[in-house]
Structure 1
Amino acid sequence: MDNISNKYDRLQDYLKSLNSVAVAFSGGVDSTFLLKVAHDVLGKNAIAVTARSESFPKRELSEAEAFTTANNIEHIVIDSEELDIEGFSHNPKNRCYLCKTELFSKIKAIAADRQLENVIEGSNTDDNGDYRPGLLAVAELDIKSPLRFAELSKDEIRHLSRELGLPTWNKQSFACLSSRFPYGETITPDRLNMIDQAEQTLLDLGLHQVRVRYHGNLARIETDENGFDTLLNKEIRNKINDAFKKIGFTYIALDLKGYRTGSMNETL
């Protein structure tokens, strides 16, 4: 615990040294924790910026807005439609790089307009090992990553979030809906909507950590151990089957390896 406390102190000191920040805020576990600490340290010199797009579910935006309102944090919502970025819809291997470059460029413009010295984002040490082309955009645009600087892991961020009383401490991990498609599979608004509806169905039925991966007319469900237990219930499986077919899927499969981040990178 002392080590976590030291990391938390290091995070606060680092944020203080940045003087003023615009936080790339998705409303997830990491960015909520980062925003909270930045606001605690810098007060009104820390603002939140959230990108609204078709790959960002409305529930996530609503939760982000609720958090900033409750904590009296200035919150700017911008439109950042990834599908308008040249090449993005073809889902190339550097899709995340294209998206982050566009997103962080817009946030940097907002920061410059507000005379804020830095833009910060919420990647942590768990992001270091996977294929993360978005981190190249972070480096190129000189976006700061305070959680990685403080060497905080996801589990440590959840622990500290719980101590701070943040509602996101046990929130499921989330990534933009575009990450549900195999590389090279075309991303469209209709397909994003199908994934959004499918994942919302699972959440509404009591599953917590889920991904629905798009494979044409087949939906591949990833979930955690508790989710597997829930799916032992035949009635719930039937509800999922009926709902997914109404959404537009012909086949529904359960990935026996379960939920893991970056599963689409396993083909690389």
Structure 2
Amino acid sequence: MELKGFFERYPKVALAFSGGVDSAYLLYAAKKYGADVKAFFVKSQFQPEFELRDAEELAHSLNADMEIIYCDVLADAVVADNPENRCYYCKHRIFDMLRKAAGAAGYTCIIDGTNASDLVADRPGMKALAEMEVLSPLRLCGLTKEEIRSRSKEAGLFTWNKPSYACLATRVPAGEKITREKLQRVEASEKELTALGFSDFRIRLFSGAARIQLREDQMEKAVELCGAVCQRLKPYFEIVLLDLEGR
């Protein structure tokens, strides 16, 4: 199936919109093929502010309707306790809110940006989406991440080369309680590293310390800027570590 065929079959859809590469291209395609599409961005403690800004910019550039839903995911004790299958409960909470908002706006078909490159086996979040009957057009049409980036570049979308980004909850080791304060420290620290010119990295909690995971090609830069990195992150973490295995 081609995306054009998908939107002919499902001409009215609500898109779970993150502002990332996949959902951005999906929003573009839905508009291109004449679908009645409304984007819903669910803003929780797990999404950094820059993702919301990117989503708003992309929706504006496509003249697409976008609604922001605010969700307190940490109000769910199971999610906050951070078990191995945390994503299952988080997805259920988020998509339940999205489905209600979409329904109130007259949309019953929910789609997301899962693509053909995403590994879905044994992923709790994917199980939740399947249970909630969320459709994934990019996956159904066999579009890989590489193909989506290529098509996005051709379409002139600024997201075409945007690094993949996992939610802030993934920075906290499974089994360790997630708090707003921990997430805020991680988000602020990652913003500081971005300001120093680093990209496509993660800062993960490690026994109270910040463990920086960089791509191999940025390791040398991290050593050169060691003093600046520590200075920038010290307000948030007493101990700053560099993971030599990288990402």
* TM-score bracket for this pair, using the shorter chain length: over 0.9
Deviation string for 1:113-140 (max 9, x for gaps)? 2222310011112222565211011100
Deviation string for 1:156-209 (max 9, x for gaps)? 211111111110011111111001111001110110001101111111111110
Other-structure match for 1:245: 234
Q: How does 1:3-82 map to 2 (within 5 A)?
A: 10-43=2-35, 45-82=36-73
Gaps of 5+ in 1: 1-8, 260-268
2:123 is paired with a residue whose SS is coil
Contact between 2:25 and 2:152, CA under 8 Å: does it hold in 1? yes
1:125 is paired with a residue whose SS is coil
Tell me how far apart the structure 1 counterparts of residues 5 and 28 of structure 2 sit (CA, whole Å). Answer: 14
Tell me how far apart the structure 1 counterparts of residues 205 and 122 of structure 2 sit (CA, whole Å). Answer: 19
Determine which of 186, 192, 196 is the counterpart of 2:187: 196
Contact between 1:18 and 1:117, CA under 8 Å: does it hold in 2? no
Q: Which has the larger displacement, 160-169 or 109-118?
A: 109-118
Other-structure match for 1:160: 151
Tell me how far apart the structure 1 counterparts of residues 26 and 65 of structure 2 sit (CA, whole Å). Answer: 15
Identity over aligned residues, as a percent? 36
Q: How does 1:124-203 map to 2 (within 5 A)?
A: 124-128=115-119, 131-203=122-194
User: May I ask how many residue pairs the two structures share in their alignment?
Assistant: 247
| Distance change in 2, residues 1:229/1:20 (3 Å) | farther
CA-based RMSD: 1.6
Tell me how far apart the structure 1 counterparts of residues 71 and 212 of structure 2 sit (CA, whole Å). Answer: 28
Letter in 2 for 1:79: Y
How does the TM-score come out when normalised to structure 2? 0.94
Other-structure match for 1:254: 242
Contact between 2:120 and 2:126, CA under 8 Å: does it hold in 1? no
Tell me how far apart the structure 1 counterparts of residues 120 and 128 of structure 2 sit (CA, whole Å). Answer: 17
